[in-house]
Structure 1
Amino acid sequence: MSVKHCLLAASVAVIWGLNFLAIDLSLAQFPPFFLVALRFAVLAIPALLFVPRPQVKVRWILGYGLGFGILQFAFLYWAMATGMPAGLASLVLQASGPFTVLLGMTVLRERVRASQMAFLLVAMAGLGIVGWQRFDSSASFLPFLLTLAGAFGWAIGNICNRQAHSVEPVKFTMWMSVVPPVPMLILALIVEGPERIGTSLTTLATPTGLLGLAGLVYTVVIATVIGSGMWSWLMSRNPAGVVAPFSMLVPIVGMSAAWLVLGETVSLGELCGAGLVIVGVLGAGLKAAKGAKIADRETALAEVVPEPVPGVSEPAKGRSSVPDVPAGTREENAPAGTREENVPAGTSCEGASRG
C-alpha cells in the first residue's frame, strides 16, 4: 500500500474515531435500532432517487449492507445504549481488524506475511492492555459482547466490499445504505415501540434533540459518505488484510476525544497500549506493502519470461544448437557421383545460375 493510501486510511480512522462522540449525542435522543434505520434512510432516499446503481453484483451490495450496515451498527448502538462508554466502544469495535484478516485468509485465500502477523499481534496486545485497564470498571460483559459482535459484522462487510471491486466507492456506499432501513425500522417498531420512536421525533427542538441531530448529520455525511467512501476506495485497491488493520487507530482518536469532551479518563497503561497499537498498525502496513511490491515484481517477471515448451529442451551450454547429422548423411559419406567435385560440368550452381 502506498504512502498516499496509508494517509487516507489514517484520515478515515480520525473521522471514525470522532464519530463515537456523534453517536453518543444521537443516542441521547433516539432509541438505538430506530437510530440505525434513520441513519441509513437519510442516505437511502437520495441514493434511490438520484444516484445510479454502481456496476457491481447485487449480492455484494446486499452483503456489504448486511455486514457493515445492519450487523455492525445494530450491535454497536445497542451496546452503547446499554452502558458501553464511547471510548471503550471505539476500542473493542476494532476487533474487526483481526476478524477481517482471519476471513481474508480463510475465505479469500489471502496470504499474510509472518512479519505482518507479528506486528498485528503487537497491535492486538496494545488493544488488550487498553481493554484490561478499562474493562473492570467501565463496562459489563454484555455490552462488551455486543460490541464484539458488531466488530464481526464490520469484518463481513469488509470482505464483501473487497469482493465487489467497486471503482465507484461513493455510489457503492450510497447504495449499501438502501439495505438497512426497512429491516431496522421493523425491528425498532417491535422492540422499541411506536411511542418511544414518536417521542424522539417530537422533541427535536430541545437542546438534547438539536445535539442529537448534529450527531446524526456528522454520522451520515462525514462518517458514512466521506469516511466509508474513502474506506471502500481503499478496500477495492488493496488486500483486505492490509487496509483493515488501520482501523485499530480509531480507538486512539475515540478515547482521546472522549477524554477531552466527555471527561473519560485515560490511565498510563492505556496510553502505553495505545502506543503499541500505533506501532503494530504502522509496522503491519509497511510489511504488507513490502510484500505486495515483491509479489507484483514476481508477477511482472513471470509475465515477461516465456515458459519453456514441453518436449523441447534447451541446448546445453558449450554445444552447438544445430542438431547433429547422423552418420552416413555427411558430405564425405555421400555416394560417389553426388559430391560436388564429381558433378558434371554445366550442372554446378554457377552454371545453373547462368542457364
Structure 2
Amino acid sequence: MTAPAAASATPFRPRDLLAALLVVVLWGVNFVAMKWGLESFSPFQLGAARYLFAAVPLVLLVRPPRVHWRWVVMFGLFQGIGQFGFLFFALKVGMTAGLASVLLQTQVFFTALFGFALLRERPGRPLVWGLALAAAGLVCFVMNYVGPAAGSGMGRGSATTLAGLFLTLCGAAMWASSNIVARLAQQRSPGYDPLAFVIWSSAVPVLPFVVLSAVFDADAARWLHWQALADVPWIAWASVAYLGWAATIVGYALWTNLLQRHPANRVAPFSLAVPVVGLTTGWLVLGETVAPWQWAGIAFIVVALACVVLGPRFQTKKASMA
C-alpha cells in the first residue's frame, strides 16, 4: 500500500517500533503454529479453521470494503486456497517451519516477475540483483537433494523433501498473485480499506476448504460429530486461534497501520527479520536443524531480500549526493 505523502515527515516513534517488532514475532512464530495445527487437522481442515477464525465475528463488525467483489474473491482464493493451501501441504509432506519462513519470502521476487508480466512494471537494478541472488539460493536448496549431498540434513527435526520445497515455492507464487490482486484493487477503488479487505476476503476460502476436505480427506465425516471436536487437543485449537486472530488479523492490522503512517521503504525492512524468528522458533520449539546447503540457500535469499528492500534507498541517497 502506498503511504500518504505526509507520512514521510512522521517520526518513527517507540510505539511504532514496538508494533513492527510485534508483527515480526507474530509472523515468525506463525510457522510453528502451523506445524502444531497440522498434527490434528489435515491441510484442508486447517485452512478452513484458520479462515473461519479470521472472519468470524469480524465480518459482523466491520463494513464490507468499497471495492468490487471480484477483487475480494480473487484475493481470498489466491491467498487462502493458493498460498496457505500449498504451504500447509508442504509442511505436511516435508518442509520445516524454519525453512518455510525463509522460502515463503521469495514472494517478493514472484511479485516482481508477475508485476513485470501483467502490470508492465520495470524492475530496477536492486531487484535484478536480488532475483539473481535468489535464484542462486534456490539452486543451493535443490543441491540438498542431489549428488553427494542428497539426504544431508534429512534426519529428525530437519526432514524436508523436494516436494515440500516445490509446494512452498508454489505458496510463495500464490502470495505474489494475491499481492497483484490487492494492488489492482487499490488502484481501481478510491475507497480502498486494506483492513476491511483482508477481513472480508478471509471469509472466501472457508467454503472451498470445507468442500475440498469433504472430497479428499478420508476422515472428513468425523467432524459431523461433536465428540470429534471435543477430542482435538487444546494446543491444536490454540494454533488455529493464533493463525486466525494473531497472525492474520492483528498482524495485518498493525502492518497496515504502519504503512498508512510511514513510507513503505521504512517499514518493509522489518520483514527481513521474519525468517530469523521463524528459524529460531523452529530450532528452539520443534528441534529443527538446517543442513549446510540449506544454510547457503538461506544466506543467498536473505541477502537478495536485503538487496531488494534496502537497495532503492541507497540508490536514492547516492543520487541525491551526486
**TM-score normalized with structure 2 length:** 0.75
Contact 1:173 1:229 in 2 (8 A): no
Larger Rg: 1
- Where does residue 27 of structure 2 map in the other structure? 16
> 5+ residue gaps in structure 2?
none
1:98 aligns with 2:109: yes
Counterpart of 2:210 (choices 178, 181, 185) is: 185
Fraction of identical pairs, as percent:
38
How far 1:33 moved relative to its partner? 0.3
Contact 1:21 1:257 in 2 (8 A): yes
- Where does residue 224 of structure 1 map in the other structure? 248
- Where does residue 221 of structure 2 map in the other structure? 195
Distance (whole Å) between structure 1 residues aligned to residue 207 and residue 46 of structure 2: 12
Distance (whole Å) between structure 2 residues aligned to residue 242 and residue 104 of structure 1: 22
- Where does residue 169 of structure 1 map in the other structure? 194
CA deviations on 1:119-170 (whole Å, 9 max, x unpaired) are 4433553455456458843322322222222111111111111222275222
Contact 2:106 2:169 in 1 (8 A): yes
CA 173–221 in structure 1, closer or farther in 2 if over 3 Å, else same:
same
- Where does residue 335 of structure 1 map in the other structure? none
Q: CA RMSD in A?
A: 3.7
- Where does residue 35 of structure 1 map in the other structure? 46
CA 245–141 in structure 1, closer or farther in 2 if over 3 Å, else same:
farther
- Where does residue 304 of structure 2 map in the other structure? 280
How far 1:267 moved relative to its partner? 4.8
1:251 aligns with 2:251: no
CA deviations on 1:167-207 (whole Å, 9 max, x unpaired) are 522211101111101111111111114334457x635556x
**TM-score normalized with structure 1 length:** 0.69
Contact 2:67 2:185 in 1 (8 A): yes
CA 69–171 in structure 1, closer or farther in 2 if over 3 Å, else same:
same
Contact 2:185 2:192 in 1 (8 A): no
Counterpart of 1:89 (choices 91, 94, 100) is: 100
CA 28–94 in structure 1, closer or farther in 2 if over 3 Å, else same:
same
How far 1:83 moved relative to its partner? 3.1
- Where does residue 157 of structure 1 map in the other structure? 178
Aligned-partner residue type, residue 183 of structure 1: P
Aligned residue pair count: 294
Aligned-partner residue type, residue 34 of structure 2: I
**Residue 49 of structure 2 aligns to a residue in which SS?**
helix
Question: What does residue range 1-355 of structure 1 map to in structure 2 within 5 Å?
Answer: 12-126=23-137, 128-129=139-140, 132-133=143-144, 136=151, 137=154, 138-165=159-186, 167-193=192-218, 194-198=220-224, 202-203=227-228, 209-230=233-254, 249-267=273-291, 270-271=294-295, 273-289=297-313
Distance (whole Å) between structure 2 residues aligned to residue 262 and residue 41 of structure 1: 26
Contact 1:100 1:240 in 2 (8 A): no
CA 126–59 in structure 1, closer or farther in 2 if over 3 Å, else same:
same
CA deviations on 1:109-128 (whole Å, 9 max, x unpaired) are 22321133214433553455
Distance (whole Å) between structure 1 residues aligned to residue 182 and residue 115 of structure 2: 12
CA 242–283 in structure 1, closer or farther in 2 if over 3 Å, else same:
farther
Aligned-partner residue type, residue 142 of structure 1: A
